[in-house]
Structure formats: structure tokens, C-alpha cells
């Protein structure tokens, strides 16, 4: 039960009074003869006297921060994040939906660098979907500065320790890697020349050379509508995107990475590309299927095929010309009292190293569980066999459709992409959307 200030004083006085009586039994003779009403009245008198002697309680409430009293400047931030726990990068209007951008806004407001996301002229280099991570995401915004005026010349790199300030309020799976002074007209989306994605996958017997051949057909400018999710509400006028480079390289042990660079990407484009590459790698489709899907006259809409997992996908880099990234704030901070003992890159590396160690240990625990279960015998056709042998036997006649992240779909009979039903064309989707909006306006 919570006590008010007066009740708290009463309880405190009674406690002290009881302690005094315990140490001085003679005082009992005085108060022992009082009636209950008299005793209560005496306590109220003593409480009143104590209140008169008590100092006034100071108001410890914090005054609202007035950012208008400070100068502002426009900066760019390079952001790294593990997107597994978030519903995408972009901030959503709905409350209690975790996003990377939402966490960044909270951190910026807690360290009083902005008043609100709507008032900082914010822009982002790209959007990433639920579960997708980023290493080279770039955002731009106006923030509080030590300068008294709005800095128009973006060459001055002396200011607040932005990296450490923001990182101190971010969750462990989001970190600011660098900041850069930029012009007041800088826009993280429109000043981004190219974006590079990486997708990590396990080989699992796939033919890497066939996958590389298929990837080569995508280099250049093509209509990628059959490699994306169409959204009529966005009203895109075309689906032509340019792929600058496409590489598939080994990483370690049995793992590979796809490194894909382009000027821009459609919704789910990289994940749909990976889905088809997995089919080619498993020899379920020929590499030339890419050329067929890029031929809109031949295939006007996307065939019905699944979307690859988003967990292995990472926005690796956003290319921006003539930007001076600042990674070490210790030499640029004007206030010696806020200089860290370790430079920002060292702190960030140690942080991610700890996360890697933690997850590597978890991986060993998963593997230990697998090894233990593998020792359990299985009876099949009146014969005792190991789990691995049993799984190999039961896989006969099944096709495993890889989706990345260890996920897959089992099917008894694989149906080639060119034989599958097509989704609705862009024109049909837009017409349906137009009629739906017209119906809403009439009902209003």
C-alpha cells in the first residue's frame, strides 16, 4: 500500500515513538493512562509539530528540454542492425510493433538530439523487411549541435559525440557505426547511388556453377516484375531495375554468400531471386529460367513460387559519393569530459564480438542436442537403423524445395515454374485497386 506524505510521517513518528518507549519503560506510565481518543489527539499534535519542522520537499521533476535554445546541423548516420527481432526497418504508426527505426527515434529523443521524428527532416537510404538485417544502412536528419547556429557548411566535423550518445540508448542488436556532416539538402534516399545486399546460405549439395550462370543473366537493366511482390497501392509506373554486379562466393565451411549490387530494388526482389536460384542450384530448374522470367512478353506475371526467408538477408552497403564518415569521435569531441576511454570502433567491435561468442555457444548447444538425438535407434521394416539412415530412406521420392535459413518445403512431385499458374498482372491489380478506392469514395 502506498503512503501519502502525511501518512508516511505518522508511520515514521510511531516507529520512533515506539522505539523511545521501548528504551524508556517509565514513559509508559504517562501514556498508559490516556484513553484512545486522547492518545490519537496527542499523536496528531506531535505530527503537526513534526510537519512544521520538516523542510519542504523539493520538486525534482525535470524541466522539458527546449531544443530551440541550441543550434542544429544535418548529419548522416551509418546504422548496423540485426533485424531478427523487428518487423522491418521503417517506423510504423501502429504502437507496440517493434521496428529498427522506432528504436533509433527513441534513442535520439532520450539523448535530446531531436524533439520528434516529424520535426527532424528525416530520410533513409532504403527499407528492409521483417527479419532482414543491415550493415550499411544510411539515414539523415537534423540534430542538436554544440554550434549556436544552423551549420550550412558541412565540412566541420567538430561536435557532440553522436556515436556514443546514441548507442548508449539503443538495444544490443542496433548500433550506430559512424556519422558524417552533410549538406542541408542531403537526402539519404535520393543521394544514394547504389545499394548492395548480401544473402548467406548453406550449399546443401547445390550446384554453385549453375547458380552463377543463372545470376549472370540478371546483370544489366531488366523488368523484374516477376521477381517481386506487386503492390497496386504504390502505383509504380515501371519495374525496370539495374543490377550492376552479382557474385556468389564461399564464406566458410559449407556456407556461401550472394553479393548483389544494384541502383535500386523492388519489394522482396532479392528474396524472390534467391528462391529461383535455389531451384536452379538443386537442378529443379535450368539456369535459362531467369531469361524466361525476365521476358514479360513470354511470362506477363509471376508464376506461383514461394518467397525465400528474410533472415539470411542483409543490406550490406549504401553507396554515397563525397561523404566523410567519422568512426572515431575521441579526436573530434570538443568536451574532454565526455571523451571515452576506448574509441567507438573498439567498443562496437567488442560488443558484436560478445554477441557472436554468445550465439556461437548456442550453436554448439544445438549441435550437441542433434548428436544426442542421433544416437536414438529407429525401427524400420523390422530393422533397427540410425536416424540419419532412416531420414535418407524416407527422403526417397521427395523433392526438397530450399527456402534459406535451413527452411524447406517437401513435395512428392515438383512442378516446373513455366507450368504453374500465374499471379494477377500489374494492370489487373491496379484496376482492382482503382475500383476499390472508387467504391470507398462513393460510400463516404
User: Which positions are annotated as active-site residues?
Assistant: 129
Which run of H or E residues covers position 147?
A: none
| Residue 381 burial (C-beta neighbours within 10 Å; 0-12, 13-18, 19+) | exposed
- Tell me how far apart the alpha carbons of residues 72 and 148 are, in angstroms, rounded to a whole number: 8
SS (H, E, C) 333-381: ECCHHHCCCCCHHHHHHHHHHHHHHHHHHHHHHHHHHHHHHHCCCEEEC
DSSP 62-102: PPPP-GGGSEEEEEEEEEEE-GGGSS-SS--SSTT---HHH
Count the helices and strands in the chain (H runs, E runs): 11, 13
DSSP string over 158-192:
-B--HHHHHHTTS-TTEEEEEEEE--TT--TTTT-
Tell me the backbone φ, ψ of residue 408, rounded to 5 degrees: -160, 170
Q: Which residue has the cell 537510404?
A: 125
Amino acid at each position: 500500500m502506498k503512503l501519502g506524505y502525511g501518512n508516511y510521517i505518522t508511520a515514521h513518528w510511531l516507529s520512533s515513538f515506539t522505539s523511545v518507549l521501548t528504551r524508556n519503560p517509565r514513559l509508559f506510565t504517562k501514556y498508559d493512562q490516556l484513553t484512545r481518543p486522547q492518545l490519537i489527539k496527542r499523536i496528531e499534535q506531535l505530527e503537526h509539530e513534526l510537519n512544521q519542522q520538516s523542510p519542504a520537499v523539493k520538486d525534482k521533476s525535470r524541466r522539458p528540454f527546449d531544443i530551440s535554445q541550441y543550434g542544429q546541423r544535418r548529419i548522416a548516420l551509418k546504422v548496423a542492425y540485426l533485424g531478427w527481432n523487428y518487423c522491418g526497418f521503417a517506423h510504423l504508426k501502429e504502437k507496440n510493433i517493434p521496428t529498427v527505426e522506432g528504436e533509433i527515434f527513441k534513442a535520439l529523443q532520450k539523448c535530446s538530439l531531436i524533439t520528434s521524428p516529424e520535426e527532424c527532416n528525416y530520410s533513409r537510404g532504403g527499407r528492409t523487411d521483417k527479419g532482414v538485417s543491415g550493415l550499411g544502412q544510411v539515414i539523415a536528419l537534423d540534430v542538436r549541435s554544440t554550434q549556436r547556429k544552423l551549420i550550412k557548411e558541412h565540412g566541420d566535423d567538430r561536435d557532440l559525440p553522436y556515436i556514443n550518445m546514441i548507442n548508449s540508448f539503443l538495444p544490443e542488436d542496433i548500433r550506430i557505426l559512424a556519422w558524417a556532416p552533410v549538406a542541408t539538402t542531403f537526402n539519404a534516399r535520393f543521394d544514394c547511388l547504389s545499394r548492395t545486399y548480401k544473402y548467406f546460405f548453406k550449399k546443401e549439395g547445390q550446384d554453385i556453377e549453375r547458380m552463377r550462370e543463372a545470376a549472370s543473366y540478371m546483370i544489366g537493366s531488366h523488368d523484374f516484375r516477376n521477381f517481386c511482390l506487386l503492390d497496386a497501392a504504390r502505383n509504380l509506373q515501371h519495374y525496370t531495375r539495374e543490377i550492376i554486379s552479382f557474385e556468389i562466393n564461399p564464406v566458410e565451411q559449407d556456407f556461401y554468400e550472394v553479393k548483389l549490387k544494384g541502383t535500386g530494388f523492388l519489394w522482396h526482389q532479392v528474396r524472390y531471386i534467391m528462391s529461383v536460384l535455389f531451384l536452379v542450384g538443386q537442378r529443379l530448374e535450368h539456369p535459362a529460367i531467369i531469361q524466361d522470367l525476365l521476358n514479360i512478353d513470354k511470362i506477363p506475371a509471376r508464376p506461383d513460387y514461394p518467397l525465400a526467408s528474410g533472415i539470411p538477408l542483409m543490406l550490406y552497403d549504401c553507396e554515397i559519393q563525397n561523404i566523410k564518415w567519422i568512426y572515431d569521435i575521441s579526436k573530434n569531441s570538443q568536451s574532454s569530459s565526455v571523451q571515452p576511454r576506448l574509441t567507438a570502433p573498439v567498443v562496437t567491435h567488442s560488443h558484436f564480438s560478445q554477441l557472436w561468442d554468445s550465439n556461437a555457444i548456442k550453436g554448439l548447444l544445438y549441435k550437441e542436442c542433434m548428436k544426442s538425438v542421433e544416437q536414438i535407434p529407429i525401427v524400420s521394416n523390422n530393422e533397427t537403423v540410425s536416424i540419419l539412415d532412416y531420414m535418407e530412406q524416407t527422403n526417397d521420392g521427395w523433392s526438397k524445395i530450399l527456402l534459406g535459413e535451413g527452411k524447406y518445403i517437401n513435395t512428392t512431385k515438383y512442378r516446373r515454374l513455366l507450368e504453374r499458374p500465374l499471379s494477377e498482372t500489374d494492370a489487373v491489380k491496379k484496376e482492382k485497386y482503382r475500383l476499390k478506392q472508387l467504391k470507398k469514395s462513393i460510400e463516404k
